[in-house]
Structure 1
Amino acid sequence: MRETQGQTVQVSPLSDDLAFLDIVTEWDLSSAYHSWKPSIVVPPTFLPGTLPRVIAICNQKGGAGKTTTALELAMSLIARGLRVRLIDADPQEACLTVWLRYFWPEDLAEPARKSLEHLYFDQTVTLQDITYPTPYKGLYFVPSFPDLEDVETKHPTGTDTNLQYHLSKPDDGFDVTIIDCGPSLGPLTVSALVASQDVIIPVQAASGLDVRGAAALNRTIRSVQGRLNPQLRVASVVLTDFEKSTLARQIGGKLAKAYPNAVILPARTSVRIGEAQLDKEPLRVFAPTATTGLDYDRGASVLFGNKGAA
């Protein structure tokens, strides 16, 4: 990891003046809809994560908000003073590598530039070799390109445990590593789950199909827990594009039952997300008054307690 450009933007927590969600131990599903207030559910059994920590953002259904969740959570954590590495494990062209600005070293010619795909096929490449700085202080990035799909089709030796191996090496100074998984339950997602302590599952708050997709993911998680990573837990379900509705309340209630030890975090919808993607900026930088960013700030506080807080 060569840092030839200085990171210049200091990211701060968003203003508490924005409307925020209360924290409860469970949603009230029996009250009349007009008197129901959406809140963040933190079960009594939930324990904030210790540091350092690896988190996989997973849901095999496309459009669930995985990339937004990965980036905005990372931004919330660096705003708390933590050092964060984002790994783009999605081989699609419309992925985090397209959204987030990052810096290639100035002395590194294009043919020598390496990405996540090289970590699986070249045993001489280390995670540090493919980790690049971004414009945001404390945030570093591992990019991917469509050739990462070769990992899914060619199954290089040790795919399942590759990321785990590299992330288990001596401390490199990162407090949190966040892995943005692609829309499948293939080898890349399994590799991310094997390497992680926590899974965060984004689910569209207005999509019953996303609830069914989360059930399929749960089978994969149980398989990984049984074979390769018994310490893996579902830390949170993020209800993306959240707006108060009867359907959103039903979906949140079902997911709270499916994952009784996980935080249920509503991330309110914002029309500015698409604009932020086009402008290649995180939402909280592009539109700091959007309540979505504050929701992820609150989520970071719950998931990590006071770690990194000023």
Structure 2
Amino acid sequence: MRETQRETVQVSPLGDDLAFLDVVTEWDMVTVYQDWKTAIVVPPTFLPGSLPRIVAICNQKGGAGKTVTTLELAMALVAQGLRVRIIDADPQQASMSAWLRFFYPEGVASENRKNLKDLYFDDDVTLSDITYATPYEGLHLVPSFPDLEDVESKQPTGTDTLLRFQLRKNDDGIDVTLIDCGPKLGPLTASALVAADDVVIPVQAASGLDVMGAAALDRTIATVKKRLNPDLRVAGVILTDFTRSSLARKIGGGLAKRYPDAVIAPARQNVRIGDAQLARQPLRIFESGATTVLDYDRAARILFTRGR
């Protein structure tokens, strides 16, 4: 792993006395709306995975909150003392690599700075070579840029299984790898799903189109499970931009029925996420007491570290 001499800061855990959502075993569609309370659903059948863990964050629909979800889950995990790697598998210009600062090693010329695209096209590049430190202790990033789109268009040999091959080595001491997928169900997303143990699906709580995108993702997951990764599972659904409404309640109930073994976790709306992105800071740093931060913190504890 490419380390840097730059100093990183430790991310502090949150206090236990904050306004966390309750945890329940099923999505409540029975209580009258006036008395209904938003809660995180952890079904009795949910089994947290052992570490190390590889998780793909994806939904075919753009704007569902994949990058926010990836970064805030990562920040919650490093606050617990875990070593986390984010892989930016989204070729868009406004992706994780534009939001999260990272450090190239000192003394490495710009022409020798590698990124995710090089992993697919250069047999001599390893995942360790392109894993860089960020300002936060325990958090590392594999960056990408718009030319990652070449993987989609040219599909070099072994695209489907290369990421799995590299991640299964895991000689970097990483506890959780989060793969931030792009909005297309193309070769890059397929590569992430083949590599992953779990899928976490962000769905906007007020968007029927996001639910349709998740349905399309279901078909891709089924194909990957059948052909290349039979143990892949949907571990969680994050209801992003969540505000209490009858529509959000209906969408949450439908997703809980579709994924009966998955955690369903609302992430309450925060209008300052855009400000955090412009400041190039995770929301957890930019506005640490925000309810959205609390929701991702609780979701991370449930999804990845229960029973650790």
Class of the TM-score when normalised by the shorter of the 2 chains: over 0.9
- Cross-structure match for 1:31: 31
Q: Normalising by structure 1, what TM-score?
A: 0.97
Equivalent runs, 1:194-273 vs 2, <5 Å: 194-273=194-273
- Cross-structure match for 2:145: 145
RMSD value over aligned CA atoms?
1.0
- Cross-structure match for 1:53: 53
Contact 1:131/1:141 (CA < 8 Å) preserved in 2?
yes
| CA shift digits 1:186-215 (9 cap, x unpaired) | 000000000000000000000011111111
Shift of 1:5: 2.3
Shift of 1:307: 5.9
Instruction: Report the Cα distance in structure 1 between the residues aligned to 2:17 and 2:245, rounded to whole angstroms.
Output: 24
Shift of 1:14: 1.9
Question: Which letter maps to 1:108?
Answer: V
Question: Which letter maps to 1:266?
Answer: P
Instruction: Report the Cα distance in structure 2 between the residues aligned to 1:24 and 1:70, rounded to whole angstroms.
Output: 23
Question: Which letter maps to 1:151?
Answer: V
Instruction: Report the Cα distance in structure 1 between the residues aligned to 2:307 and 2:173, rounded to whole angstroms.
Output: 15
Q: Does 1:124 align with 2:127?
A: no
Instruction: Report the Cα distance in structure 2 between the residues aligned to 1:24 and 1:2, rounded to whole angstroms.
Output: 42
Q: How many residues align?
A: 308
Query: % of aligned pairs identical?
Result: 70
Question: Which letter maps to 1:74?
Answer: A
Contact 1:7/1:133 (CA < 8 Å) preserved in 2?
no
5+ residue gaps, structure 2, are none
Contact 1:9/1:136 (CA < 8 Å) preserved in 2?
yes
Runs (4+) of structure 1 exceeding 4 A deviation are none
Instruction: Report the Cα distance in structure 2 between the residues aligned to 1:21 and 1:241, rounded to whole angstroms.
Output: 15
Contact 1:29/1:249 (CA < 8 Å) preserved in 2?
yes
Q: Does 1:161 align with 2:161?
A: yes
Instruction: Report the Cα distance in structure 1 between the residues aligned to 2:11 and 2:104, rounded to whole angstroms.
Output: 21
Contact 2:2/2:130 (CA < 8 Å) preserved in 1?
no
Instruction: Report the Cα distance in structure 2 between the residues aligned to 1:79 and 1:230, rounded to whole angstroms.
Output: 32
Secondary structure (helix, strand or coil) at the match of 1:9 reads: coil
Instruction: Report the Cα distance in structure 1 between the residues aligned to 2:59 and 2:146, rounded to whole angstroms.
Output: 19
Instruction: Report the Cα distance in structure 1 between the residues aligned to 2:121 and 2:307, rounded to whole angstroms.
Output: 36
Cα distance change on mapping 1:212 and 1:89 into 2, 3 Å: same
Contact 2:134/2:141 (CA < 8 Å) preserved in 1?
yes
Shift of 1:15: 2.6
